[in-house]
Amino acid sequence: MIRTNPKLLDYAKNLLEKQPTKVSVTDYKRKGEIMGQGHRYPYVGIIIKGIVKCYINEANGKAFIQEFMTEGMEVGELEFFEKGGATCSVSAVTSVTILEIPHQLFKTLLDEDLTFNRLILESLADKVRYKAPRHAFQTSYSLERNIEKMGELYPDFLKVLPKGDIANYLGVSARSLNRALKTLREESNT
C-alpha cells in the first residue's frame, strides 16, 4: 500500500557512491512539492528516504491519490519516455530525500546497462500490475472492506497518513471515511 522497490534502491545508492558527480540529491520537507502536474523536469527521481504521494488534481478541486511511495520508487520516469508535462503531482508526506538522475544519464544507463534496463522494465510492469487489482477492489467492495484492507497491508496507516490523504486515496469524501471508520470501531466493540 506504501510501495517500495528494494532492488532499485540498491542500484540508486550504488550509483550515488560510484558516480557522485553525475547525479544529485535533494531534500524536501513535509508537504513540499517534488513535482507539479504539467511541469517538466530534466531528471528522473528515485526516492532514497521518506514517503511521497503521487496524485492528480482535477479541475473541480478534487484530488485522487494514485499511490503512496517510499524507498526505491521512481518518480518522473513517464516524462522521460514521452516528453510533456508530468501526469501527476508528487509531494512529500514525510520529509523526503530524492536522487535525481539527469535524463541524459538515464538514457545512457537504459541503453548500456542491461541490469538497469531490466530494473526499469520491472519497475514499470510493477506499477501497471499494482493498479489493476487496486482499482478493481476499490470499486467492487464496500468502503469498510477497503479500509480493512489498508490496515492489513499497512497497519499504521491511520497514524502515518493524514485522513484527507486516505480519503483521496480511497476516492471518497472525508465525511464518508469518518463514517466508515466509526462503523468499524463500533463493530469491533461488539
136 contributes a contact to DNA by CB under 7 A? no
182 contributes a contact to DNA by CB under 7 A? yes
Exposed, middle or buried by CB within 10 Å (0-12, 13-18, 19+), for 62?
Answer: exposed
SS3 19: coil
Amino acid identity at 136:
A
Query: Is the CA virtual torsion 5, 127, 59, 161 positive or negative?
Result: negative
162 contributes a contact to DNA by CB under 7 A? yes
Phi and psi, residue 3, nearest 5°: -85, 155
Q: Which is nearer to its own copies, 25 or 136 (CB)?
A: 136
Q: Residue 97's beta-bridge partner residues?
A: 27, 49
Choose from DNA, its own copies, none: what does 179 bind? Cβ within 5-8 Å by kind.
Answer: DNA
Which of 175, 187, 188, 190 lies at the binding interface for DNA (CB under 7 A)? 175
The three cell numbers of residue 118 are: 531490466
77 contributes a contact to its own copies by CB under 8 A? yes
127 contributes a contact to its own copies by CB under 8 A? yes
**Alpha-carbon span 89 to 38, nearest angstrom:** 8
Size of the site for DNA (CB under 7 A): 17
Which of 7, 131, 163, 182 lies at the binding interface for its own copies (CB under 8 A)? 131
**Alpha-carbon span 118 to 25, nearest angstrom:** 23
Q: Which is nearer to DNA, 102 or 151 (CB)?
A: 151
Choose from its own copies, DNA, none: what does 126 bind? Cβ within 5-8 Å by kind.
Answer: its own copies
**Alpha-carbon span 56 to 9, nearest angstrom:** 25
124 contributes a contact to DNA by CB under 7 A? no
Positions touching DNA (CB under 7 A) are 30, 142-143, 162-164, 171-176, 178-182
